[in-house]
Chain A
């Protein structure tokens, strides 16, 4: 099998798995308990917190473990917006955010908040002038993703933070796709809150975290025993947290090497597909883009057919096509780039990981042109070409 869907999820690193096992078996204690047996679990959670803090250049007190990136997004948006509701009820975000952000904002709109959805340019970059103009006195929170899951475009988050802070607004960033792939220094970038997810960088599923800058108060989503300094009650998912911590530790050590391995493979894939398949459009920013992500539109054909054909070749990929998602509209991200409906339909996302080999990439380069040709031969739009 050739797995090229790392932006959906990544395999669990064996080393992470090994670290987790004791906490699924022998070390089952509740970290909150008083006896000595609980100490192992407690210190494992705190070690993980330290590794994660080190990955982001944050303090350990600024890390809140959650069950997922989605929960971290919900906690940040609802938690901050509700905390600051007296000050203002205006939020700014972008049109290409993950649904965990967009649907949370839509939810808040039903409860009296106002949300501005910023446009992006053809590469997926947020318009900074529009951001400046949209900021208001009552804008408490801005949420702009660091790197986009579909097209990989990386936002100028430091500039965005500066603009927000000049207005006295907080900046949250959904960094689910960026954490573990690229260096992130929350202090340097001026980020107030940041969401991440374990399974996107070789950690386990079911665990994520929110970085929340010291001094920022938040209303919790989950009330209960007061875990995570009262910000997220629930008995800790110890094994998951240990896995997330180990994944963070490894990411810090190996990020550079991973990039050096993955980027040339992605670049080759891009080059060769463009050379071998006519009428292909690459989506996302040419340079400011995650080094593992390739999103292309194969004109005149539709994404689901491409995916199923790749699946027949044992290649796992993804698409922003409507037909694959259960909704009938193509990806909101591709539409926000200004792509027409029928072109957005033919999108294909290949997202690489550290275990992909040059041979695997060659295989994709070999089969994809044939698939495109076959599907195009069926397409009424392709005739007379």
Chain B
């Protein structure tokens, strides 16, 4: 078996958690990786400023799919502001690390979530 990635990366790639479209999402983040052309969409449902559900769709490499998937787990149940603090390093770390050349892939996840939150905030009326 290929040993470029950790077992956890392969696990999340093979059995991606929270993969697919979300029904009636409150917001969608769409980002592309300018470096390699890969694309990620993040769907979120928000209630009382908390992410209650999060799913993804990704066109990209193994690392991109695994990081997308674990991101959804990391942010679910978090307040929006806390979810925004999840960095790409944290995402990669949660998978037991990524090869250096693949670190940029985890940026997709970080940016995908940010874009989803921006989308949400741009439509949701600000509640004081």
* Residue positions of A touching B, CB distance < 8 A: 300-302, 304-305, 308-309, 311-312, 321-324, 326, 328-329, 341-342, 345, 377-381, 383
Contact = CB atoms under 8 A, between A and B. Distances in A.
B19 A378 contact: yes
Contacts of B16: 378
B54 to A, nearest CB: 15
Given A308-B2, A383-B21, A323 B60 contact: yes
Contacts of A329: 36
Provide the main secondary structure of the chain A interface. Answer: helix
A305 B13 contact: yes
Contact of A383 (B1, B57, B63, B104): B57
Contacts of B2: 308, 311
A341 B37 contact: yes
Nearest to B38: A302
B65 interface: yes
Given A305-B13, A311-B1, A326-B101, A342 B36 contact: no
Interface string B35-66: 11111110000000000000001111111110
Nearest to B40: A380
Contact of B61 (A304, A309, A311): A304
Nearest to A300: B59
Contacts, number: 67
The 7 A-B residue pairs with the shortest CB-CB distance in the complex, in nearest-first order: A323-B61, A380-B57, A304-B61, A380-B41, A379-B59, A328-B36, A341-B37
Contact of A305 (B21, B35, B57, B62): B62
B57 A378 contact: yes
B14 interface: yes
Contacts of A324: 61
Given A305-B13, A378-B19, 12 more contacts: A302-B59, A305-B60, A305-B65, A308-B2, A322-B37, A324-B61, A328-B36, A342-B59, A345-B38, A379-B57, A380-B30, A380-B39
* Central interface residue in B36, B57, B64, by most chain A CB within 10 Å: B36
B21 to A, nearest CB: 7
Interface of B: 1-2, 10, 13-14, 16, 19-21, 30, 35-41, 57-65, 101, 104
Given A302-B59, A304-B61, A326-B101, A381 B36 contact: no
B65 A378 contact: yes
B81 to A, nearest CB: 26
B6 to A, nearest CB: 13
Contacts of A321: 61
* Central interface residue in A311, A321, A323, A329, by most chain B CB within 10 Å: A323
Contact of A381 (B14, B21, B59, B63): B59
A302 B41 CA distance: 15
Contacts of B61: 302, 304-305, 321, 323-324
Given A311-B1, A328-B35, A342-B59, A377 B20 contact: yes
30 contacts: A302-B60, A302-B61, A304-B61, A304-B62, A305-B13, A305-B61, A305-B62, A305-B65, A308-B10, A308-B13, A308-B62, A322-B37, A323-B36, A323-B38, A323-B62, A323-B64, A324-B61, A329-B36, A341-B37, A342-B37, A345-B37, A378-B16, A378-B19, A378-B20, A378-B57, A379-B58, A379-B59, A380-B30, A380-B57, A383-B57
A227 to B, nearest CB: 39
A311 to B, nearest CB: 6
Contacts of A381: 39, 59
A301 B14 CA distance: 15
Given A308-B2, A308-B10, A312-B14, A380 B58 contact: yes
A345 B32 CA distance: 14
Nearest to A330: B37
A328 B102 CA distance: 10
A178 B112 CA distance: 46
B33 to A, nearest CB: 9
A312 B15 CA distance: 13
* Central interface residue in B10, B20, B36, B59, by most chain A CB within 10 Å: B59
A322 B64 CA distance: 13
A322 B38 CA distance: 10
A379 B16 CA distance: 12
Contacts of A328: 35-36, 104
Contacts of B13: 305, 308
